[in-house]
A and B are shown apart, each in its own frame.
Chain A
Amino acid sequence: MKEVVVGLASCGIAAGGIQVYNKFSELLDAEKDETALKQTGCYGMCFREALVEIIEDSKRRTLYGQVTPERVERIVNEHLRGGKVIEEWIVKEEGQFLAKQKRIVLHNCGKIDPLDIGDYLASGGYQALKKVLSEMAPEQVIAEVARSGLRGRGGGGFPTGRKWESCRNAPSRNGTRYVICNADEGDPGAYMDRSLLEGNPHSVIEGMIIGAYAIGSSQGYVYVRHEYPLAVKNLGVALEQARARGLLGKNILGSNFSFDVKISRGGGAFICGESTALMASLEGKIGEPRPKHIHTTEKGFHGKPTNLNNVETWANVPLIINRGAAWFSSIGTERSKGTKIFSLVGKINNTGLVEVPMGITLREIIYEIGGGIPSGKKFKAVQTGGPSGGCIPERLIDLPVDFDRLTEVGSMMGSGGMIVMDEATCMVDIAKYFVKFLTEESCGKCVPCREGLDRMLDILTDIAGGRGREGDIELLEELGYAIRDTSLCALGGSAPNPVLSTINYFRDEYEAHINERRCPAGVCKELITFTIDKEKCNGCGLCAKNCPQQSITGKKKEAHVIDQTTCIKCGLCRDNCKFDAVVVS
C-alpha cells in the first residue's frame, strides 16, 4: 500500500498544491494503484513547496519538492507504477534543514491530515486530555505546567503556570472564567500560528481543553484573523469532529467537566493581538487596549477572570502533560524552556518554518538550518520579534536565542518572526518600513504612540529622502525613549525598537544619509543613481528591454546609457544585467 501526501497549507496552496492534488486524483486509481491520496499541513520547507511525500509500506518515504501538475504524471508513471525514484526532484536540503531542529510542537505538522481527527488520535492525540481528566486534579495540572517552565509564546514570555494559577484563584461571583486562544497573528513575515492551526488544529484545541479544566472554565474562544481563511476552516472542522467524539461539549469523556470553544474572527487590526484590545474586540467594542494595572486574569473578557494564551503556548500543553514537566524543562536554557517556532524569512536560502530548542545560536539558525544567504551576499542583520522587534547585527550572531538574551540586545522574542537581511538592505529604510507599519496599525488612543510614531516616520522619511538634518538622530533617540516609556500598551512600548536598535548598531548608516546624503546600501531611491559601466557593458540590450520607462538607450553591441531625467530607479536594469555593468552610486 502506498500513500501520496500533498502539502496543502497556505504555503502549499500558494505554490500550486491544489492543482497538484487534483492532478494526482485524476491520474490515480485508488484500487488499481493501491495508493491512497492524502493532504497535510505545512512541513516547514516552504522554499520547496509544493511538496509531495510518497510513503511506501508505511516506512520508506520520498519527498519531492517544487512539484507542478506537469511533474505529477512522471511521478505517477515512474515512481508509483514503475517503482523508480526520480532522484533529481528529491528535496536534498531536508537533512540539513531538520538536523538542528527539534520538532516537538510541529511534530505532526506536515504528517497528519488536519481535517481528519483519526490521524491525530492515531498519533497519540487527546491522550493528554484523557490522562488529565482521569488522573489529575486541576491543581496538579497547573503545578505540572508551572514546573515545566513554559513561558508564553506570544511575545511577553510570562510564565504560563503562574498565569493559570492567578486566573484559577481570581474571584468570580458566579464562577465564570474564560480561556482564549490568541491567533491574531499580524506581524509581517510571521506565520507560525497560522501553520499550526492549519496543520494541526487539534493540538491547540486539546491544550485549550486541558487549560480550561485546570483553570475551571467552561467556555473558550479562539480569536483568529479573518485573513486566515484556511486556518478558520480547518479549526472549524476540527472543533466539529472533537464535538462529535465527545471531546468538547457537555461531560467530556464521561467526566463532570464541560467545555466548548467558539471561533471569533478578527477584522485584521494588528492591535487586536494585544490581550486587552483583543478582549474589547471580542466583546464587540472598538479594539483598543486599556491599562493593565488590574490583570486580565482577574478582570478580562466581560469583566470575568480570563486566561489568554497564544496558539503555540496552547499547543505545548499536551506535550508537557504527556511527557512530563521534567522532560520539557530539560530542553532549552535556564530561564527559557522548551522549543520555539520561528518563521525564517527574508534574504535566506531555506525560507520556512523551523522549530528549535531555546538557546540555539542565531548562527546555527541562519547558516545551518537556513542554509545561509542567497547569491553569495554577506549577512548584515536579523530582525526578530515582528515589526516592533530590534535588528541584531552580524557581530552578535553567536547570541543564544532565548527570551532574556534577545531583550538584552534591544530586540525581543515576539511571536517568532525572523527576518534575515543581507548587505543590500538599508537599515534606515528598514526602520522606516516598520515604523510605517506600526503608525498605520497603532489604535490611536494614546498620544506618544499615535503622534510620536507619526513624527518619527516623518523624520525617517526625511533622512531617507536626503533631507536629514544634524540632530535628527538625537531627536529620534529622545522621541524613541519617550514613546517607549509613556505609551499605554506594549505596541507603543516596543514600537521604537526597530529605530533605536538600528541607531545603536548602524549609526554610521544614519550619519551617511544625513551628512553625506548617501545611502551606503544603495536602496533609498532619492539618494542613488544608476549608471552603466562602459567597460563591462557589452550592449546586449537586456536592460533597455526591461526598462519600464524606456530610459536606457544604446546601439547593439555598444555600451548603453541611462537617461537620469526619466529614470525612476526601479532597479530592474541591475537585476537583469548579466555582467554586473549597472552600478549604483
Chain B
Amino acid sequence: MVELTIDGVRTTVPRGTTVLEAARSMGIVIPTLCYDPGLTPYGACRLCIVEVVKGKRSSLEASCTLPAFDGQVIVTNSERVKKARKIIIELLLSTCPTSKKLQDLASNFGVNEVRFKIKDKGCILCGLCVRYCKEQMQSGGIGFVGRGTSRRVGTAFGDTPDECRNCGGCEWICPVCERACTADSLMNGLCGGCQNYAPVETCTVCIGCSESVGARGHKVY
C-alpha cells in the first residue's frame, strides 16, 4: 500500500494504482477522453493532467499514466491545471467541433470561444478504438497511420483487414463520433451550453460560440 495526498486529503491505495484511479475512488472528478478502465492507459488526450507538487516546484502530469507513490502530493484542480485543460479542450474542439462530448466538456469548463483555426477531422486520435480492438477483441485490425498532423486511424494498406470481425467495438467506444451535434440553430444544440447565449448567427458549432462567430472566429456553418 502507498499513502499519498490528493487535494489535501490523505489516502491509501494499493501499490500499482494510478493517481487517476486513486482520485476517482475518492470521488474527485477528473475529466478523461482516452482513458478506459478496461484498457491500458495511454496518456494521449492530456485532459486528466494534475499538478504534482515537489517541494517548491510542481509539474503537470497525466494522472492516468502516473503511478501513485508514497508521499506524493497531488492537486487536481489548481488554477494551472484548469488553465491548461481549457487550452486542451479548445484545441480538441478545433479538431472536432461537432462532438457532443467535447461540447459538454467545453460547457463545463467555461470554454466559450475557439481562438484557433477549425480543422474538422472528426477524430481526436485518443486511441481508444485501436486499444479496444487489440486488447479486448484480440484483433489488432486497426492502428495508427502516419505521423504528426497526418496521423490517423486506419487499416493496413487501407483494406478491410482479415482480423476485423465487424464487432463494432471501435464505433461503440469512440468518445467523439457517437452523437455529433447537428443543430441548425444555437437554441437546439444538444449540449445545452449554447442556450446561454443569444442566437447571433446560425451555426452548428454549439459551444456557446456567440463570441467565436464573426471576424475573429471560425467559419459559420
Contact = CB atoms under 8 A, between A and B. Distances in A.
A443 interface: yes
A521 interface: no
Contact of A451 (B61, B67, B94, B143): B94
A446 B149 contact: no
B149 A450 contact: yes
B62 A469 contact: no
A478 B87 contact: yes
Contact of B67 (A293, A442, A486): A293
Interface stretch (A32-40, A452-460, A564-572): A452-460
A447 B44 contact: yes
How many A residues touch the partner, as a band? 20 to 34
Given A291-B65, A458-B117, A444 B46 contact: no
A444 B149 CA distance: 6
Interface string A430-452: 00000000011111111110111
Contacts of B83: 482
Given A458-B116, A485-B84, A488-B46, A447 B91 contact: yes
How many B residues touch the partner, as a band? 35 or more
B147 A486 contact: no
B125 A450 contact: yes
Contact of B46 (A439, A443, A448): A448
B147 A447 contact: no
B67 A482 contact: no
A444 B147 contact: yes
A286 interface: yes
A398 to B, nearest CB: 29
Contacts of A448: 46, 87-88, 91
B91 A444 contact: no
B45 interface: yes
A482 B62 contact: no
A214 to B, nearest CB: 28
B38 to A, nearest CB: 19
B20 interface: no
A293 B46 contact: no
B43 A444 contact: no
A454 B88 contact: no
Contacts of B91: 447-448, 451-452, 455
A269 interface: yes
Contacts of A458: 116-117
Nearest to A488: B43
B144 A286 contact: yes
Contacts of B147: 269, 271, 440-444
A334 B13 CA distance: 42
B66 interface: yes
Interface string B74-112: 000000100110011001101100000000000000000
Nearest to B46: A486
Contacts of A469: 216
Given A291-B65, A442-B147, A450-B125, A482 B43 contact: no
B44 A485 contact: no
A448 B88 CA distance: 6
A141 to B, nearest CB: 31
A456 to B, nearest CB: 9
Nearest to A291: B65
B212 to A, nearest CB: 13
Interface in B138-187: 143-144, 146-151
Interface string A453-471: 0110011000000000100
A286 B140 CA distance: 14
B88 A447 contact: yes
Contacts of A86: none
Interface string B33-57: 0000000001111100100000000
Contacts of A455: 91, 94, 116-117
Nearest to B151: A444
Interface in A464-506: 469, 475, 478-479, 482, 485-488
A255 B149 CA distance: 52
A244 interface: no
B219 interface: no
Contacts of A294: 67
Given A291-B65, A293-B65, A482 B87 contact: yes
A447 B88 CA distance: 7
Contacts of B146: 444
B67 A441 contact: no
Interface string B55-72: 000011110011100000
* Highest count of chain A CB atoms <10 Å: which of B62, B116, B117: B116
A487 B49 CA distance: 10
A447 B92 contact: yes
Contacts of A450: 125, 148-149, 151
B137 to A, nearest CB: 19
Contacts of A447: 44-46, 88, 91-92, 124-125
B24 interface: no
Contacts of A488: 43-44, 46, 62
26 contacts: A269-B147, A286-B144, A291-B61, A439-B148, A440-B149, A442-B149, A443-B148, A443-B151, A444-B144, A444-B150, A445-B127, A445-B151, A447-B91, A447-B124, A447-B125, A451-B94, A458-B116, A459-B116, A469-B216, A482-B84, A482-B87, A482-B88, A485-B49, A486-B60, A488-B43, A488-B62
Interface of A: 269, 271, 286, 290-291, 293-294, 439-448, 450-452, 454-455, 458-459, 469, 475, 478-479, 482, 485-488
Interface of B: 42-46, 49, 59-62, 65-67, 80, 83-84, 87-88, 91-92, 94-95, 115-117, 119, 124-125, 127, 143-144, 146-151, 216
The 4 closest A-B pairs by CB, nearest first: A444-B151, A482-B87, A455-B116, A291-B65
Given A444-B146, A451-B94, A486-B87, 8 more contacts: A271-B147, A443-B147, A450-B125, A458-B117, A459-B116, A479-B87, A482-B87, A485-B59
